[in-house]
Chain A
Amino acid sequence: MSNIDIKNLSFSYQPNVPTLENMTAQFEVGKFSLLVGSSGSGKSTLLKILTGLLPTFGGEITRGRITIPNQLTVGLVFQNPNHQFTLDTPRHELEFVLENLRTNPSEIPNKIISALSFCEVQHLIDRQFNTLSGGEKQKVALAIVIAMDRDIILLDEPFASIDPKSRTELINKLVCLRDDKHKTIIIADHDLLGYQSIVNNIYTIKNHDIQTLLHDEGRKLLTEFEQQSPTINCTKPASNSSISFMFNQLNISIQNHKLLNQVSLPIPKNKVTLITGENGIGKSTLFLSMTKLMKYHGQITLANVDIQSIKAKKYARQVALIFQDSENQFLTVTMREELELSKQHRKTNYFNDEVIKECLTKLNLLALLDQVVYTLSEGQKKKLQLLLMMIVEPEIMLLDEPLKGLDINSIHQIIQIINGYRGQHQQTIIIISHQISGLNNFVDHQLHFERQHLTYLETHHES
């Protein structure tokens, strides 16, 4: 069978600044291909070119071409789940999609049900998208591509906010699609766990170019990643440790759907606490309650003071929420302006110009200072967002999926920057993350969210 053929492809968003340069590669039809590369290397760009969204929506192919054989159709699951729905609920979106494909109306209901149940999200069919968690949206997005019955399925970091169990299940389903329906799967991911036995080909994007790894090179890459991860050692907090947050009789629900019912829970001060749990269990909603963006019943105290009695401005400077969607954090247009804004409100002089420059260099952002924040890649947005919020030095940082879109090297750099600051200043950190690769030695405690309850886990892994 012929292949998806990329020949001497050069693509740039701005004249003379190539994102992809003279790229040549072939993706085998009917196979499972994995695309690896650091944040901002051009993975999403390549996938969007394959889908035809680029250069329609910006940029220019300056050279070369892409050939997709036999008029095979292409479907894409976007990296940012908030960017891919037109209507308000999964049912309406799927109806819209199938209408577009001129599906016979009598077949539409069955197709909708079978696509949703394939991804095990049929219970979400009539939920509003804005009440779904990031991971749930990604599963629905995948169901839509499946309902569209595309020959080539492209997935742009689809698992970044999906819990490990669902991730494994979904990867297995993609394998079924390849084996039973001869679909071509191309997936971009930073988290390389779970691909060892299933992937056919591995490609890396680096310095604007793509490389097809030989079989052994690919295996080596995956094995190396598996070895350095992903177990974390954590203990239960000591009973005499000082406490930052304390939950008393805390009840949180969303649209009559009960999420949390916690009698009492302390969160230790100056420690790093990781919250894990399945998609849609209520982790992000808990953060919204802790930052007073969402109503709750019961009491949350911070250093023994009810957070409702702390003035909004004062509280916001103490407790910062690092949103799951980076764009929510931005207030101006370019990166330089964003940094200036954060610099105005530093509490100490730790993040002086020199340190900031050093951070930008570490995070590979220095060359992008004048770029509009919205045009950055998802990974670059995430790195900028984290840096901006570190500069304002909150006493407590609530990080909601901070590793989304980040390659392992960027994760190490971010942790180094946070640790550098925490070496000199006190800071409590609470993280929601499904991905734990790269977090070992950083996390002190782990809270597991299950059945409306948070429990501290004790894990000891011999390393």
Chain B
Amino acid sequence: MNPSFKLILIILISFEISFTRSLITNCLLIIICLLYLIINKIPTKTLGIILLVPIVPAVALSITIAFFTPAHDYHFALVLFTRMFAYVLLGTSFTLINSPLELARSLEQNLNLPSKFAYGSLAAFGVLPKMRLTILTLQKAALMRGIRLSFWSPKLYFKALLIALNWSDELAQAMISHGYVEDTARTYAHKISIKHTDWLYLLVPLFIIQPLLLMLP
């Protein structure tokens, strides 16, 4: 499926479940996403971690709604509980299966977003793992000079921020020196097309989900 279409679909669905209270639809979404991820061979460990992440906020939120509100709305508590998992799994279905580069290319070619924006967001994707590595290196470098920087040390994050600022400048220089000129036409090594099936994949789920959201409890 075209990455931009997939992104739009997932954003729209997430948006819709935020404003409706259908427990069954949430559960259906969770099951579909799980199936989709399993079909695409997501590693069990990754899936486990992803399912663990929303547990604390989901439990906390549903307990609050169920027991500490005047209405004691158990149904709504369960809706919120499942909604958390639906969000996380929808997001995962998108990010784990699609490469950020493919998305950037699609945003540029199909949605006509400025290339600056497409490649800028791509760089932001790239920075996250790099940041993790940098923080580990920083800690080690500090330790070698006799300083222990804990994970909550402001010094560590101040430094990380400084490095990130420096990176953005370096990145801009790298792009320019590699021939990038803002707002000029580029060619595309890989043409990302919108097929008829892409429209189907986008519209059919949206049509199906509307009545479900409105009618199912």
Please give the residue numbers on chain A whose beta carbons come within 8 Å of chain B beta carbons, in ascending order.
51-53, 56-57, 75-76, 78, 83-88, 92-93, 95-105, 108-109, 130, 144, 148, 291, 293, 312-313, 316-317, 319-321, 323, 327-333, 341-342, 344-345, 374, 388-389, 392, 394
* A332 CB contacts on chain B under 8 angstroms: 159
Contact A88/B179 with A83-B173, A103-B187, A328-B137 known, Cβ cut-off 8 Å: no
Greatest chain A CB density within 10 A among B141, B172, B186 is at B141
Q: Is the interface of B mostly helix, strand, loop or mixed?
A: helix
Contact A105/B189 with A291-B140, A344-B146 known, Cβ cut-off 8 Å: yes
Q: Is the CB of A53 within 8 A of B177?
A: yes
**Closest chain A residue to B119 by CB distance?**
A86
Q: Is the CB of A86 within 8 A of B189?
A: no
How long is the Cα–Cα vector from A144 to B134 in the complex, in angstroms? 26
* B122 CB contacts on chain A under 8 angstroms: 87
Q: Is the CB of A130 within 8 A of B130?
A: yes
Chain B nearest CB from A186 CB (Å) reads: 15
In the complex, B51 has a CB within 8 A of chain A: no
Greatest chain A CB density within 10 A among B141, B162, B177 is at B177
In the complex, B178 has a CB within 8 A of chain A: yes
Q: Is the CB of B140 within 8 A of A99?
A: no
Q: Is the CB of A97 within 8 A of B179?
A: yes
How long is the Cα–Cα vector from A293 to B189 in the complex, in angstroms? 38
* B144 CB contacts on chain A under 8 angstroms: 316-317, 319-321, 389, 392, 394
Q: Is the CB of A86 within 8 A of B145?
A: no
Choose among B101, B140, B147, B178 the residue that contacts A293 (Cβ–Cβ < 8 A).
B140
8 closest cross-chain pairs (CB), A and B: A345-B146, A100-B179, A316-B143, A95-B189, A320-B144, A83-B170, A99-B186, A97-B178
How long is the Cα–Cα vector from A389 to B145 in the complex, in angstroms? 7
Q: Is the CB of A85 within 8 A of B174?
A: yes
Known: A95-B189, A342-B145. 19 other contacts (CB 8 A): A53-B173, A78-B174, A86-B171, A93-B178, A96-B119, A96-B180, A99-B187, A103-B187, A105-B187, A105-B189, A108-B189, A148-B178, A293-B140, A317-B144, A328-B141, A331-B142, A345-B147, A389-B145, A392-B146
* B190 CB contacts on chain A under 8 angstroms: 95, 105
Greatest chain A CB density within 10 A among B142, B172, B173 is at B173
Q: Is the CB of B187 within 8 A of A104?
A: yes
In the complex, B138 has a CB within 8 A of chain A: yes
**Closest chain B residue to A88 by CB distance?**
B126
Chain B nearest CB from A142 CB (Å) reads: 13
Q: Is the CB of B147 within 8 A of A341?
A: yes
* B179 CB contacts on chain A under 8 angstroms: 97, 100-101, 148
How long is the Cα–Cα vector from A78 to B190 in the complex, in angstroms? 28
Greatest chain A CB density within 10 A among B140, B170, B189 is at B189
Q: Is the CB of B143 within 8 A of A102?
A: no
* B119 CB contacts on chain A under 8 angstroms: 86, 96
Choose among A99, A329, A333, A394 the residue that contacts B188 (Cβ–Cβ < 8 A).
A99
Q: Number of B interface residues at 8 Å Cβ cutoff, please give it.
A: 45
Contact A329/B177 with A95-B189, A313-B148, A374-B166 known, Cβ cut-off 8 Å: no
* B134 CB contacts on chain A under 8 angstroms: 328
* B172 CB contacts on chain A under 8 angstroms: 57
* A75 CB contacts on chain B under 8 angstroms: 177
Q: Can you list 24 A-B contacts with CB-CB less than 8 angstroms, sorted by A residue number?
A: A83-B174, A84-B178, A86-B119, A86-B178, A86-B180, A88-B126, A93-B178, A95-B189, A97-B178, A99-B186, A100-B179, A100-B186, A104-B187, A105-B188, A108-B187, A313-B143, A316-B143, A316-B144, A323-B137, A328-B134, A331-B155, A332-B159, A389-B144, A392-B145
Q: Is the CB of B185 within 8 A of A78?
A: no
Q: Is the CB of A100 within 8 A of B180?
A: yes
In the complex, B31 has a CB within 8 A of chain A: no
Q: Is the CB of A78 within 8 A of B177?
A: yes
Flag B197-214 by CB within 8 Å of A: 1 or 0 each.
000000000000000000
How long is the Cα–Cα vector from A76 to B173 in the complex, in angstroms? 11
Q: Is the CB of A86 within 8 A of B188?
A: no
Q: Is the CB of B178 within 8 A of A53?
A: no
Q: Which of B145-199 contact A (CB under 8 A)?
A: 145-148, 155, 159, 162-163, 166, 169-181, 185-191
* B143 CB contacts on chain A under 8 angstroms: 312-313, 316-317
Q: Is the CB of A345 within 8 A of B166?
A: no
How long is the Cα–Cα vector from A332 to B130 in the complex, in angstroms? 20
Q: Is the CB of B189 within 8 A of A341?
A: no
Q: Is the CB of A57 within 8 A of B173?
A: yes
Q: Is the CB of B141 within 8 A of A329?
A: yes
How long is the Cα–Cα vector from A328 to B140 in the complex, in angstroms? 10
